[in-house]
């Protein structure tokens, strides 16, 4: 990433993440047709070891693995896209890699509005719904009148 500036890296990190976290069916519905591409690395299923920290802040330890699928593609016009998605859905990984490549081409504004924006909105809605349900279970303590105060 020597030639890319920090904001570009941040933007790419965010769209790769949005594509990885997208429900595979939703991504397929938003991006049904893929442009011609060659597989630099065909979708491959493997694992990533998830780490935690002792006490939440201390020394790292291995919690356990999670399944992931990775894929790299090159569009006919030359842009290279990468994906590493949670789970074992090869079509999801391939589609996410193509979308990453498209985001580096003239198609970027179209992908951003037609694919990424709906994905981000849906993710934000899902998160807000859970947060709202959690908030409804928040305990509001009140102090009962104490004997000696009466």
Which residues in this chain contact other proteins in the complex, by CB under 8 A? 1, 9, 12-13, 16-17, 20-21, 44-68, 70, 72, 82, 84-88, 127-139, 141
Cβ 12 to other proteins, closest distance in Å?
8
Tokens (6 digits) for 47:
């694992």
Cβ 2 to other proteins, closest distance in Å?
8
DSSP string, 99-134: HHHHTTSTTHHHHIIIIIHHHHHHHHHHHHHHHHHH
Contact between residue 52 and residue 61 where contact means Cβ atoms under 8 Å apart: yes
Nearer Cβ to other proteins (33/139): 139
Cβ 142 to other proteins, closest distance in Å?
11
Nearer Cβ to other proteins (36/134): 134
Chain centre to alpha carbon of residue 22: 6
Tokens (6 digits) for 123:
């993710």
């Amino acid at each position: 990433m020597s030639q890319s500036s920090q904001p570009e890296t941040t933007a790419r990190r965010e769209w790769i993440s949005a594509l990885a976290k997208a429900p595979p069916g939703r991504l397929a519905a938003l991006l049904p047709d893929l442009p011609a591409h060659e597989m630099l690395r065909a979708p491959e299923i493997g694992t990533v070891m998830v780490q935690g920290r002792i006490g939440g802040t201390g020394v790292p330890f291995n919690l356990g693995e999670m399944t992931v699928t990775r894929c790299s593609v090159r569009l006919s016009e030359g842009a290279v896209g990468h994906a590493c998605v949670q789970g074992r859905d090869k079509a999801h990984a391939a589609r996410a890699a193509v979308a990453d490549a498209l985001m580096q081409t003239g198609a970027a504004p179209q992908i951003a509005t037609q694919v990424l924006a709906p994905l981000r909105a849906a993710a934000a809605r899902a998160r807000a719904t859970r947060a709202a349900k959690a908030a409804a279970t928040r305990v509001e303590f009140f102090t009962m009148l104490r004997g000696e105060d009466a």
